[in-house]
A and B are shown apart, each in its own frame.
Chain A
């Protein structure tokens, strides 16, 4: 009777034995919190990780990335990359779904008066994790939003970059571009002579008026797998990068490796 679900079932019964539907809902949520067999094979990852620790490598390499680790990698990549990276819609949706399920479970369990101290700690840990994941999700989305607003006009004229963003992000870019255009037009541009009232001039010796992503910005690259060869703008090239290799290079050189997931930005 000391197990979590048994205690929990007993508790639910005492409080709410009239409504069987809510009870089955609670049980389903307990099942989500309690580890079931279809979870990831954590024991195997733990073992392989211990092997890695035995022979101290320069970096702790994970055998398999969990969805959260993937999102953290994409989040940091997005933060460092000067350009907008391909959207990770599925990954984000599955994690948001997971957050919702965990929060629902916690919400139901918190309503329980009979939870023990041990259960309180468990609920608190689950909640803490939900907040951590929410922070990452928020920061990831905001980083993309920032770039989309910055490059809004460029996005509307470039079909290639539109393939990398979601429909919602594209709608936002279009609205943002229109709003700023209208604002500039009504506040300043309409009273300027025709030749000076454009927003997309490309004057010589000056950067174009439409802000574009700058691929030559250097980024710190951390190789996850063996990959290469890589060519650099100064004509040199690197035959291969071994896992753990760290290097500062222009984003343009790292772009394709990043797309394949061979490297991460750090």
Chain B
């Protein structure tokens, strides 16, 4: 089997996490390291206590060895997320969040809760956001037809979640239309 059946219809959340952790994040290193060439680019030099920008996977790796502090991105705090949640519950469309916010938030909250303030509050806002957005995407399903269905500000993990159902629904709508014209 070249591709396991579970991977054929969609990518997995773990794979999305792999993609998301390629993004850069700021850290305060606790070890020194010369500038090093990686496949994705050159990172460093790390000189405590100066900030440096490295991919998230690298930051996670160092964090687990207690070799750095992670500086959370501009959107991972109570004020920003609360503002989005208010928007989410008061307005019709999806609020503007970074495309891969769910994956990044999960990784950072799991690995570096001590570097983020009010993690409990952030977790609960993220959960509320998720529920509010999920409800909207379900309502949006009513507008689905066989042509095109636009989803402004929909996020990577949310797309993956609704993919099987949305794709199948649209395929069925297409079939319902195609068959009578073929029979003529």
Complex CA distance for A21 and B6, rounded to whole angstroms: 50
A-B contact pairs, 15 of them (CB 8 A): A4-B34, A34-B35, A45-B41, A46-B24, A58-B98, A121-B67, A122-B34, A125-B61, A126-B38, A133-B39, A220-B151, A244-B99, A246-B159, A250-B146, A266-B156
Q: Is A118 an interface residue (CB 8 A)?
A: yes
Q: How far is the CB of B54 from chain A (nearest CB, A)?
A: 9
Query: In residues 14-45 of chain A, which contact B (Cβ within 8 Å)?
Result: 32-36, 39-40, 42, 45
Q: Are A3 and B39 in contact (CB under 8 A)?
A: no
Q: Is B132 an interface residue (CB 8 A)?
A: no
Chain A residues positioned under 8 Å from B40 (CB to CB): 66, 68-69, 129
Q: How far is the CB of A206 from chain B (nearest CB, A)?
A: 13
- Can you list, as one digit per residue, whether each of B1-32 has a CB less than 8 Å from chain A (1) or not (0)? 01100011011000100110011100000011
Count of chain B residues with a beta carbon within 8 Å of a chain A beta carbon: 60
> Most A CB atoms within 10 A — which of B2, B37, B67?
B37
Q: Are A118 and B32 in contact (CB under 8 A)?
A: yes
Query: In residues 58-107 of chain A, which contact B (Cβ within 8 Å)?
Result: 58-60, 66-69, 72, 76, 79-80, 95, 98-99, 102
Complex CA distance for A129 and B41, rounded to whole angstroms: 11
- Known contacts A102-B39, A248-B150; 16 further A-B pairs (Cβ under 8 A): A40-B42, A53-B74, A58-B99, A60-B98, A66-B41, A69-B22, A118-B32, A122-B36, A146-B3, A218-B171, A233-B174, A236-B147, A246-B151, A248-B144, A248-B149, A248-B167
Complex CA distance for A79 and B8, rounded to whole angstroms: 7
Q: Is B152 an interface residue (CB 8 A)?
A: yes
Complex CA distance for A132 and B166, rounded to whole angstroms: 31
Chain B residues positioned under 8 Å from A45 (CB to CB): 41
Complex CA distance for A100 and B9, rounded to whole angstroms: 32
Return the chain B residue nearest A247 by Cβ: B150
| Total residue contacts A-B, CB cutoff 8 A | 167
- Give the contact-size bracket for chain A: 35 or more
- Can you list, as one digit per residue, whether each of B141-178 has a CB less than 8 Å from chain A (1) or not (0)? 00011111111111010010001001100110010010
Q: Are B39 and A121 in contact (CB under 8 A)?
A: no
Q: How far is the CB of B128 from chain A (nearest CB, A)?
A: 20
If A34-B34, A146-B2 touch, whether A233 touches B146 (CB-CB below 8 Å) is yes
Q: Is A51 an interface residue (CB 8 A)?
A: no
Q: Are B148 and A247 in contact (CB under 8 A)?
A: yes
Q: Are A79 and B11 in contact (CB under 8 A)?
A: yes
Q: How far is the CB of A30 from chain B (nearest CB, A)?
A: 10
Chain A residues positioned under 8 Å from B75 (CB to CB): 56
Query: In residues 90-148 of chain B, which contact A (Cβ within 8 Å)?
Result: 96-99, 144-148
Partner of B39, one of A68, A145, A238, A244: A68
